[in-house]
Amino acid sequence: MGLGRRLYRGEIDVDFVGKWRLWYSLSGILLLISILGLLINGLNLGVEFRGGTVFSFKAPQATVEQVRETVIGEGAHQAIVQSAGDGWRVTTENLAENTTTQVQSEIAKEYNVPVGQISIQSIGPSWGGEVSQKAWIGLGVFMLAIILYLSMAFEPKMALSAIVALIHDLVITAGIYAWSGFEVTPATLLGFLTILGYSLYDAVVVFDMIKEVTAKLGHTSKQTYSMAANNALNHTLIRSLNTSLVAILPVAAILFIGTTLLGAGTLKDLSLALFVGMIVGTYSSICVATPLLVTLKEREPKYQAIARRLASTGGGKGGGNKKSAAVANG
């Protein structure tokens, strides 16, 4: 509790920029694990993307294995069974019309469900491909808009740092989906776009403070760019953490309570992306975007000169100074 109060009052100065090797190493490990998950397991694409047949019906007394055996026993080669409250959602490959009818009849017979209450939805792979294409276009437009906005509002190096952090968040979130086997649906894509916006918001808050603080740096400054950026980051730290905590708590409730107690599959698809993305987005805006920005800015002649002058006079002791000295010395 004492640490929390001191952190909240701004009494603790964390050297985020100076520990850039730690953050880069941690992010590198997370990215490697995520990429391995994508290569080994791949994403479990929902029926909306790959095409297939979906059966929805109510059978509170049935189990996952019973439902799967019923569907596969009637001609389906694979069946993904999901609980939906007191009902079931079964996704198969595209089935012929007669096979679909057989599966529907067997479900009605096995679980005493009227045929009219068994919902059947058939989605062709071409429609799924169209959804995927639009998703990639939407992501590309979003990234382009971010680059243009940050380049105009701040500067290109800030835009580059923010884009790297966004890609970092996307890859890690996608890796979590690959390892967990959670289904990727259109709701998941909405979650991905939401976390991109959230991560960008956090980065903009930090960059705005950095821009304000570093604008005062001159040839006679007693701070390097690294030190000024680290101070700015510490001033916005509590705001970032508070905003993240307030946003994460309801999402966690949806993920862990809504999906386990209520069995809401769609909420699960959306909430996992939000939950993971918000945590990773908060981390990346503090520990990835800002150190990367400092790495780029410290290579500018103006800030190299400040770092060399302070290093020669024994000044500039504080957050990020080791990084400044390393850059200043080539």
Band the pLDDT of 29: cuts 50, 70, 90.
very high
Q: 303 and 217 in one domain?
A: yes
Which pLDDT band holds residue 329 (cuts at 50, 70, 90)? very low
Q: How far apart are the first and last CA of the chain?
A: 43
Helix or strand run (H / E) with residue 81: strand 79-84
Residue 196: CB atoms within 10 A of its CB come to 21
d(CA 206, CA 24): 18
- Residue range 17-28, pLDDT digits in tens: 888 999 999 999
**pLDDT score of 327:** 47
CATH number at residue 115: 3.30.70.3220
Residue 287 domain boundaries: 14-44+127-328
Cβ neighbors of 121 (< 8 A, separation 6 or more) are 53, 54, 56
pLDDT interval class at 325 (50, 70, 90): very low
Least confident of 163-172, 253-262, 291-300: 253-262
DSSP-derived pairing of the beta strands 87-92 and 52-58: antiparallel
Q: What pairs with residue 45 in β-bridges?
A: 184
Structural domain includes residue 6: no
- Lowest mean pLDDT segment, chosen from 119-133, 169-183, 287-301: 119-133
Answer whether residue 212 is part of any domain.
Answer: yes
pTM of the model: 0.75
**Mean per-residue pLDDT, 123-142:** 72
Q: Is the pLDDT of residue 91 over 90?
A: no
- With cut-offs at 50, 70 and 90, classify the pLDDT of residue 259: low
**H helix or E strand, kind and range, residue 313:** helix 301-313
- Nearest in space to 294 (alpha carbons), one of 220, 237, 210: 210
Please count the structural domains in the chain.
2
- Assess whether pLDDT exceeds 80 at residue 35: yes
Residues 6+ apart with CB under 8 A from 216: 228
Q: What is the CATH number of the domain that holds 172?
A: 1.20.1640.10
Q: What is the pLDDT of residue 267?
A: 66
Answer yes or no: is 267 within a domain: yes
**pLDDT, position 125:** 62
**Model pLDDT for residues 147-180, shown as the tens digit of each residue:** 788 778 788 888 889 889 988 998 998 999 899 8
Domain termination residue (choose one: 101, 123, 145): 123
